[in-house]
Amino acid sequence: MSPAWDPERYLAYADERGRPFLDLVGRVAAADPRVVVDLGCGPGNLTSLLADRWPAAAITGVDSSDAMIRVASDSSAAERVAFHRADLRDWLAAAPPAGVDVLVSNATLQWLPEHLDLLPGLVRAVAPGGWLAFQVPGNHDEPSHKIRAELAAEAPYAAHTAGVARPAAHPAATYLRALQALGCTVDAWETTYLHVLHGADPVFTWVSGTGARPTLQALPDDLRPRFEDAFKARLRAAYPDEGHGVVLPFRRIFAVARVGA
């Protein structure tokens, strides 16, 4: 079952989550695209930046979450962006070949275990000479993920959390080679951001809006508070605040591909 995303919780660190999007799109050298699509657009705040950059383009944001699409559709971005609810795989199956000039996917593909197998379809959806750009988190060996997994495997939580969705990604070189094999010119790289977070249990606030959310939602109401308290305590130990905020290292993997003409 897909998690029910919380746009408000997700936007708690909107600036920090937005930095990789800007770095990704900054490498897309499209001059005057006609059709731009953002797959996994979330609440639409970043999709609106595509409309800023390419005001003459038809911009579409696609997301599988009802809550995210409602927020996006009610935002000022909806004046310039058409938002639609759809699973990325369903959108891809219905997309006309070579119909998109710039196809962007930011922090979405990691939720699809088979996403490497989706790359040929994503490339086919892009017009000759167009651009495919995506970014996925590559921090799954960090304490925030390990602690969640270890705690979720303990009794009494394990009976409820087995099989929940877990984000995963491949090395940058894997994406580079896969896209080159599809005839693309590829720029692939990784960046580790050092986010300085403030407030009460800021790492919990961050992960509860993204990677830990499926685990939290899988727990029954009578167990979730107990799990959250233990999770917060372990995160505080792993990410101490030494007086200047909590430092959260976050590695992200990028690929920008120019589709062959």
Q: Using one digit for the tens of pLDDT, what is the confidence trace for 62-88? A: 999 999 999 999 999 899 999 999 999
Q: Kindly state whether residue 60 falls inside one of the protein's structural domains.
A: yes
Condensed to tens digits (0 to 9), the pLDDT of residues 32-42 reads: 999 999 999 99
Residue 233, in any domain of the structure: yes
Q: Pick the closest to residue 185 from 260, 253, 255, 102 (CA basis).
A: 260
| Closest C-alpha to 40, from 13, 74, 2 | 2
pLDDT in tens, 82-139: 999 999 999 999 998 999 999 999 999 999 999 999 999 999 999 999 999 999 999 9
Q: How much is the pLDDT for 165?
A: 85
What are the beta bridge partners of residue 250? 193
Tell me: pLDDT of 4 over 70.
Answer: no
Give 12's pLDDT tier (boundaries 50, 70, 90). low
Query: What's the CATH number where 101 sits?
Result: 3.40.50.150
Place of tokens 């939602």: 217
Task: Work out how many domains the chain is built from and give that number.
Answer: 1
Residue 11: partners with Cβ closer than 8 Å, 6 or more residues away: 43, 45
Question: Rounded to a whole number, what is the largest CA-CA distance in the chain?
Answer: 57
Residue 1 lies in a domain: no
Structure tokens at 233: 């305590």
* Residue 17: predicted pLDDT: 86
How crowded is residue 30: how many other Cβ atoms within 10 Å of its Cβ?
Answer: 18
Q: What is the mean pLDDT of residues 181-208?
A: 96
Q: Is 200 helix (H, G, I), strand (E, B) or coil?
A: coil
* Predicted local confidence at residue 261, as pLDDT: 82
Q: Is residue 2 part of a domain?
A: no
Residue 59 lies in a domain: yes
Asked if residue 252 has pLDDT above 90, the reply is: yes
Residue 191 CA: distances (Å) to CA of 97, 135, 136: 32, 10, 11
The confidence score (pLDDT) of residue 9 equals: 64
- Is residue 130 included in any domain, yes or no? yes
- DSSP for 66-92 reads HHHHHHHHHSGGGGTEEEEE--HHHHH
Give residue 210's pLDDT band: very low, low, confident or very high (50, 70, 90). Answer: confident
Residue 3 is predicted with a pLDDT of 59
pLDDT at 16 (0 to 100): 87
Cβ count within 10 A of residue 97: 10
Three-state SS at 16: helix
* Full domain range(s) for residue 133: 7-258
* Residue 242 in domain: yes
Look at residue 211 and tell me if it is in a domain. Answer: yes
Mean pLDDT over all residues of the chain? 93
